[in-house]
Amino acid sequence: MNILVGSFEERLRKSISFAWEIFSEQVGATLLSINKEASMQLHYSYILQQILPLVCFSKNESAKIELETGVIVQGRSREIDLVLRGRAEGLIYNIAVEMKCYREITSSGGKRGATDIFMKDVYEDLHLLESYCHRDSFDNEKSVFNAGVALVMNDLDRLVNPKSKVAKCWDYDISNGTKVSDLHLTTPIGGKTVDLKIRKCYAFKWIKKGEFWFLENEGV
């Protein structure tokens, strides 16, 4: 992947993938310690921030990062994990990034449960990202995002390469090689009702680095 090739909008999008590759390599090599989503956001955003000046090729091009950006989408208040905003020749490009991290062992040393909630939350992020990019979700057309990207990491091989998919949580299948599109998910998780619609097509292609699995997903 050559992040220096393409339009400014294409370079912005490639910078997200490039930063994710660097992040994955460093976490896999234990150069970065990630114990929950907050540290994932912090370290990834730092890497991305260093890359952005390298993909701006004129004085009219600029890019910046926002963390936990609040938006009102479909009448509800949401916080987007990371927003990449770019400006070139008077045009604005906005990319929304949602992140998820699951570690089997918590930072305090205890064993974490609720893998079913994690799996459902991965799909909820896809649903939200589609909403951010859908014109009808916002009252102001300028609020619509140009792209939405999901970045996910975990250290449980059985989520990526399961031996069976009998449990109801596998209605939210995130295993390697899974392809989904046009879904309406309603299976309750954690005793709570769920109502998620997925319009676009997604392919789950996990990459292993060290003891961790990494996924980048964007609907087409």
H helices of the chain, in order, are 8-28, 37-51, 115-132, 157-160
- Decide: 12 and 93 in contact? Cβ < 8 Å: yes
Of 118, 112, 124, 98, the C-alpha closest to 35 is 112
Domain membership flag for residue 3: no
Domain membership flag for residue 1: no
Per-chain mean pLDDT for the chain: 90
Q: Give pLDDT tens digits for 166-218.
A: 888 999 999 999 999 999 999 999 889 999 999 999 999 999 999 999 999 99
Q: Does the pTM exceed 0.85?
A: yes
Helix (H, G, I), strand (E, B) or coil at 64: strand
Q: Give pLDDT tens digits for 104-154.
A: 876 666 677 678 999 999 999 999 999 998 866 555 555 689 999 999 999
Look at residue 111 in the predicted model and tell me its pLDDT. Answer: 72
Q: 25: which 2 tokens?
A: 């390599």
Name the more confident of 106 and 56: 56
Look at residue 43 in the predicted model and tell me its pLDDT. Answer: 97
C-alpha span between 130 and 98 (Å, rounded):
11
The domain of 100 spans: 8-217
Which is it for strands 212-217 and 207-209: parallel, antiparallel or unpaired? antiparallel
- Decide: 147 and 134 in contact? Cβ < 8 Å: no
C-alpha span between 139 and 40 (Å, rounded):
32
Please count the structural domains in the chain. 1
Domain membership flag for residue 36: yes
Name the more confident of 160 and 105: 160
